[in-house]
Amino acid sequence: MSDEHFYNDLDATLEQVWQRLGRGVADRRSGMRTVQLASLGLDGTPRVRSVVLRGVDRAERLLRVHTDRRSPKFAEISEHPAVEICAYDPRAKVQIRARGSAALATTAAAEPAWAATQPGSRACYRVSAPPGSPLVDPTAVDPQPTPQAPADAGREHFSVVLTTVARLDWLYLAARGHRRARFDWHEGRWQGRWLVP
């Protein structure tokens, strides 16, 4: 990939940020398909985990991921909406960190996302006990081949985490000199600046 068009150009770098995040959603092979979502634990200590990036809306500054509403992260984000999402694409040598405030949707607002969810993904939400529950027998909640579950089974556990991004941090690793830029949403527009990498 030629980097000439964005290497020393802040506006073009911001374009790259959104393009790369968008590719994470559209392309299963993108390094940004899976991202790290950090939240604040209920005891005030950090929590971070991998999640699939499911949606990007540049105009609304939104990043969307899906989770089980019974999972600890749901309670954590309900209590403290501040989150950070970190993505790294090793082929592009690009890290993007997005900081913002997350809103949780479980009811009608989550419906379009549930409708678009593949049957394989829905199976996670049918598990009878909450994610993270202790198990004596690790096979106890394995998917069963029969009987066929109703398509909407698990819907009540499905939730959408929608992060409105307020700060973006771009880091591009290049042998001739790394580039790092920060973009802050301020007075209705992105304000960018270069940072020491």
Ligand X SMILES: Cc1cc2nc3c(=O)[nH]c(=O)nc-3n(C[C@H](O)[C@H](O)[C@H](O)COP(=O)(O)O)c2cc1C
Q: What residues from 124 to 153 belong to the interface with ligand X (CB under 6 A)?
A: 131-132
Q: Are 165 and 63 in contact (CB under 8 A)?
A: yes
Q: Which is nearer to ligand X, 53 or 94 (CB)?
A: 53
Q: Show the tokens assigned to 133.
A: 């529950």
Q: What residues from 19 to 38 belong to the interface with ligand X (CB under 6 A)?
A: 34
Q: Which is nearer to ligand X, 71 or 101 (CB)?
A: 71
Distance in Å, CB of 189 to ligand X, minimum: 31
Q: Are 49 and 73 in contact (CB under 8 A)?
A: yes
Q: Show the tokens assigned to 131.
A: 């994610």
Q: Which is nearer to ligand X, 7 or 88 (CB)?
A: 88
Q: Are 160 and 134 in contact (CB under 8 A)?
A: no
Q: What residues from 47 to 86 belong to the interface with ligand X (CB under 6 A)?
A: 47, 49-52, 65-68, 71-73
Residue labelled with tokens 């019974």:
70
Distance in Å, CB of 129 to ligand X, minimum: 13
Binding-site residue total for ligand X (CB under 6 A)?
Answer: 15
- The contact mask relative to ligand X for 85-124 (x = CB under 6 A, - = no) is ----------------------------------------
Q: Which is nearer to ligand X, 101 or 121 (CB)?
A: 121
Q: Show the tokens assigned to 6.
A: 């964005």
Q: Which is nearer to ligand X, 50 or 107 (CB)?
A: 50
Distance in Å, CB of 191 to ligand X, minimum: 31
Cβ-defined contacts of 54-60 (< 8 Å, 24+) = 54/25, 54/113, 55/25, 55/113, 56/18, 56/21, 56/22, 56/24, 56/25, 58/18, 58/22, 60/164
Q: Which is nearer to ligand X, 13 or 39 (CB)?
A: 39
Q: What is each CA distance from 19 to 7, 25, 97, 160, 168, in whole angstroms?
A: 15, 10, 14, 22, 13
Footprint on this chain of ligand X (rule: CB under 6 A): 34, 47, 49-52, 65-68, 71-73, 131-132
